[in-house]
Amino acid sequence: MKSILLHMNDDGGMESRLQVALDLARAFDGHITCLQSVSFDVFAPGDFYGSAIAAAMPVIKEAAEEFRAKTEEDLDNEDASWEWLFRYGMAEQRLLEQSAINDVIVVGARDIDDDVDRPSHLVGELAMRSRTPVLVVPDAAQKFDCSAPALIAWNGSTEAGIAMRAALPLLCKASKVYIATVTEESDRQRYDLPPTDGAEYLSRHGIDCEVVEVARGEAPVADTLFSAAQMRHCGYVVMGAYGHSRLAEMLLGGVTRRALSSPPLPILLAH
């Protein structure tokens, strides 16, 4: 993961995802592309002539420039390669444009100015539309230890396999890898791709892993997976993003939605 695309925005999760991107760049001797986008597509009720937007534009632009200057000053003191891209437009569109020439997209777990525990629209757009894996960073994250144990959430789907394959560079550095399935007493489901197939795939890449079955109990599947990861001191979870077409907001599968609502650990997503 030598090419790291980082979403730059002056929000509560910025410091966390910046530190995660720096840790990745150091671990892989990589390069960070800091992408800052500014959009003036603000709907103001009753502002038929655009006067409110026109008045706000200089303020928005000045705040963006101040944020860039401060962050670039901080980055100059870091031992990592980086560059800054400034673009006008919606963040998801500009990140999607750049994603094709990057190995991973680092974003926050929340949308801008959203303090409700729900999946980020930005994350949903990127996870479902980009072919580049998305690393979702919780606001409370302070670092990203590539050598920490990793947990792969396995439900036998194609998306789970794609996510595991996308995570290979990280998994090669992990001190321990778990492939975790959540089971129930009444579960009679047959996996399209059993976890042993995933373990065999990893073994071909020189990665030893442990297949674990976790009883669901009464907790949601996503919560059960996170608990299993935390009990094993994992630094992150690898998960396939699966869902449906775009509606008013991205409609992700139930487990993915729950996992993204308030993740306690970074999640590497791929679809």
Residue 138 neighbours by CB under 8 Å, 6+ apart = 13, 16, 109, 262, 263, 264, 265, 266
**Residue 36 belongs to some domain of the structure:** yes
pLDDT tens column, 65-97: 999 999 999 999 999 999 999 999 999 999 999
According to the model, what pLDDT value does residue 59 have? 82
Please check whether residues 123 and 217 belong to one and the same domain.
Answer: no
Please check whether residues 99 and 188 belong to one and the same domain.
Answer: no
**Residue with structure tokens 């194609």?**
158
Please check whether residues 102 and 50 belong to one and the same domain.
Answer: yes
**Residue 143 belongs to some domain of the structure:** no
Please check whether residues 172 and 258 belong to one and the same domain.
Answer: yes
**Residue 23 belongs to some domain of the structure:** yes
**By the 8 A CB rule, do 181 and 155 touch?**
yes
Please check whether residues 186 and 67 belong to one and the same domain.
Answer: no
Please check whether residues 21 and 79 belong to one and the same domain.
Answer: yes
Query: What SS3 string covers the chain?
Result: CCEEEEEECCCCCHHHHHHHHHHHHHHHCCEEEEEEEECCCCCCCCCCCCHHHHHHHHHHHHHHHHHHHHHHHHHCCCCCEEEEEEEECCHHHHHHHHHCCCCEEEEECCCCCCCCCCCCHHHHHHHHHCCCCEEEECCCCCCCCCCCCEEEECCCCHHHHHHHHHCHHHHCCCCCEEEEEEECCCCCCCCCCCHHHHHHHHHHCCCCCEEEEEECCCCCHHHHHHHHHHHCCCCEEEEECCEEEECCCEEECHHHHHHHHCCCCCEEEEC
What is the residue-averaged pLDDT of the chain?
87
What is the widest separation between alpha-carbon atoms in the chain?
63
Domain span holding position 194: 150-270
- Domain end among 89, 105, 137: 137
pLDDT tens column, 142-195: 999 999 999 999 988 899 999 999 999 999 999 999 999 998 655 545 567 899
Please report, for the domain that includes residue 225, its CATH number: 3.40.50.620
pLDDT band for 246, please (50, 70, 90 cuts).
very low
Tokens found for residue 116? 């409700």
180 vs 128, which has greater pLDDT?
A: 180
Domain total for the chain?
A: 2
**Residue 226 belongs to some domain of the structure:** yes
Please check whether residues 33 and 99 belong to one and the same domain.
Answer: yes
Tokens found for residue 221? 């599947």
pLDDT tens column, 15-29: 999 999 999 999 999
Q: How many residues does the chain have?
A: 271
Please check whether residues 71 and 21 belong to one and the same domain.
Answer: yes
**Residue 235 belongs to some domain of the structure:** yes
Please check whether residues 158 and 246 belong to one and the same domain.
Answer: yes
Please check whether residues 23 and 104 belong to one and the same domain.
Answer: yes
**Residue 145 belongs to some domain of the structure:** no
**Residue 19 belongs to some domain of the structure:** yes
Angle at 199 between CA 5 and CA 207, to 5 degrees: 60
- Domain end among 91, 107, 137: 137
Please check whether residues 106 and 60 belong to one and the same domain.
Answer: yes
**Residue 129 belongs to some domain of the structure:** yes
Q: How many CB atoms lie within 10 A of CB 77?
A: 6
Please check whether residues 159 and 266 belong to one and the same domain.
Answer: yes
- Domain end among 89, 104, 137: 137
| Cα 122 to Cα 133: distance, rounded to the nearest angstrom | 14
Angle at 114 between CA 47 and CA 216, to 5 degrees: 145
pTM of the model: 0.89
